[in-house]
């Protein structure tokens, strides 16, 4: 769950750059944890789709235990090594202390972030996608209120923004847990089902680890790009920071569609309804493309007013210009980003988590190539092209691989049907 410090416009370019400089290592570490949560949700969804209550209980128990262990371990290690990581990324000297102050708190609060994401993954696995969204909205409102109080009233600067984010995540996580306990008696398990099984833990890790590594592999390319942006100066870092926060807001719908497809695919594979996966992916694609076009139009019309929430246009006109350029270029490629998310998560939901990591490798290679070869030649515009290049490269792998997964599962689930009805999606191709 990503929420923005709403009072960033009270800071100035240096504080905004301090937060922005942490974005890629934030994604590197927390993305690993979120990948675990998403991965652990897949066997839960498959057990629910297969109506296997006993396995459902055991998967939920192991998901909670494993998430707790990993979140604490990652939080301690990441908080301890955040300064060396920022130093290696060539973070500007004038903002590195503030960056360390911000990201060390974010890392120490990883268990709060994991609490919400694991709880929401379980709820989505049971078919409840509304409750996580409700508490995400609640968390955003809490985040905004705490930002204003901690930064403006208590004068805590970037540390206040980090504390506000951590507390809002804790509130949303506890809210999801309360709903799970009160609304879903199917999750009530016996003492016998709450016994740790190394073999089941291994099975859960074989699903969760590839999804976590996928996030981190993708983030490696982002770290290289961030290093290149850091070399362009504080204004460039501040511009990317502001633009990324706005873009993250527009991408919430895309992220939600992706999470929905992971659990939807898992449930239907568990129920042996392969054709419904294609139907769901087609519906998500249509809805997502319509949204992406509308989002691009909104960015075209309101990029500068939105950036003014974070940037003083009169005091920092260069930051405003670069931020608008970044937003325009990235939003023009939201449709490729949509397919990266919904196709990859569909593949993972069907149980092919390890091969799907290759999409992250394609993204990493594309971002690294842009950072090393294009940014030195064309400057900031090159940095703006890093994400679009990564999304297009990932799609080039995911589209044909999705078709391969469908053919493979068609043979496994329905061998008695030699001419199985083609999945209702855009990847239509006659069976061999």
Render the burial of 231-264: b for 16+ CB within 10 Å, e for the rest.
Answer: bbebbbbbbbbbbbbbbeebbebbebbbbbbbbb
Structural domain boundaries of the chain? 8-413
Contact 233, 317 (CB under 8 A): no
| pLDDT for res 312 | 83
| pLDDT for res 424 | 40
3-state SS, residue 419: coil
Which residue's entry shows tokens 């087609």? 282
Contact 338, 289 (CB under 8 A): yes
Instruction: Work out the average pLDDT over 132-147.
Output: 89
Backbone phi, psi, residue 186, to 5°: -60, -20
State pLDDT tens for residues 236-271: 999 999 999 899 889 988 988 998 898 899 999 988
Q: In the predicted model, is pLDDT for residue 5 greater than 70? A: no
CA 407 to chain centre: 28
Cα-based distances in Å from 419 to 196, 408, 416: 43, 14, 9
Backbone phi, psi, residue 270, to 5°: -60, -35
The CB density around residue 297, as the number of other CB atoms within 10 Å, is: 11
Residue 44 CA to residue 66 CA, distance in Å, equals 14
Q: In the predicted model, is pLDDT for residue 3 greater than 80? A: no
Which residue's entry shows tokens 């061999």? 432
Return the DSSP state at 233. -
Residue 221 CA to residue 24 CA, distance in Å, equals 9
Contact 217, 367 (CB under 8 A): no
| pLDDT band, residue 374 (cuts 50/70/90) | very high
| pLDDT band, residue 414 (cuts 50/70/90) | low
Question: Which of 366, 367, 426 is CA-nearest to residue 400?
Answer: 426
The sign one gets for the Cα dihedral 63, 26, 261, 172 is positive
State pLDDT tens for residues 58-71: 999 999 999 999 99
């Amino acid at each position: 769950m990503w929420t923005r410090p709403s009072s960033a416009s009270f800071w100035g370019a240096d504080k905004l750059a301090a937060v922005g400089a942490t974005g890629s290592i934030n994604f590197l570490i927390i993305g690993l944890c979120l990948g675990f949560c998403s991965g652990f949700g897949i066997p839960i969804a498959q057990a629910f789709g297969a109506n296997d209550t006993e396995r459902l209980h055991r998967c939920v128990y192991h998901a909670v235990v494993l998430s707790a262990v990993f979140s604490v371990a990652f939080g301690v290690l990441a908080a301890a090594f955040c300064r060396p990581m920022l130093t290696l990324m060539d973070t500007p000297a004038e903002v590195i202390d503030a960056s360390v102050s911000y990201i060390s708190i974010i890392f120490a609060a990883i268990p709060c972030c994991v609490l919400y994401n694991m709880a929401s993954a379980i709820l989505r696995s049971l078919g409840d996608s509304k409750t996580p969204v409700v508490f995400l909205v609640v968390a955003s409102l809490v985040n905004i209120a705490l930002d204003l109080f901690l930064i403006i009233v208590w004068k805590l600067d970037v540390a206040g923004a980090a504390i506000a984010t951590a507390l809002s995540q804790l509130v949303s996580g506890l809210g999801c847990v309360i709903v799970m306990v009160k609304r879903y008696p199917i999750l009530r398990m016996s003492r016998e089902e709450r016994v740790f099984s190394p073999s089941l833990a291994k099975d859960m890790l074989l699903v969760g680890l590839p999804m976590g590594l996928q996030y981190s592999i993708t983030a490696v390319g982002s770290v290289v790009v961030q290093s290149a942006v850091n070399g362009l100066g504080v204004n460039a870092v501040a511009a990317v920071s502001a633009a990324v926060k706005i873009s993250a807001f527009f991408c919430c719908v895309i992220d939600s569609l992706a999470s929905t497809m992971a659990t939807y695919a898992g449930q239907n594979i568990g129920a042996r309804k392969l054709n419904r996966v294609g139907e769901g992916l087609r519906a998500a694609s249509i809805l997502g493309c319509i949204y992406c076009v509308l989002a691009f139009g909104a960015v075209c019309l309101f990029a500068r007013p939105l950036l003014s929430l974070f940037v003083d246009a009169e005091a920092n006109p260069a930051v405003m210009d670069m931020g608008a350029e970044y937003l325009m270029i990235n939003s023009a490629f939201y449709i490729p980003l949509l397919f990266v998310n919904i196709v990859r998560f569909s593949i993972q939901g069907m149980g092919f988590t390890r091969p799907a990591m290759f999409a992250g490798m394609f993204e990493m290679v594309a971002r690294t190539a842009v950072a090393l070869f294009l940014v030195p030649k064309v400057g900031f515009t090159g940095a703006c092209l890093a994400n679009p290049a990564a999304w297009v490269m990932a799609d080039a792998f995911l589209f044909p691989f999705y078709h391969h997964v469908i053919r493979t599962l068609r043979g496994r689930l329905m061998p008695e049907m030699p001419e199985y009805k083609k999945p209702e999606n855009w990847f239509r191709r006659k069976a061999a």
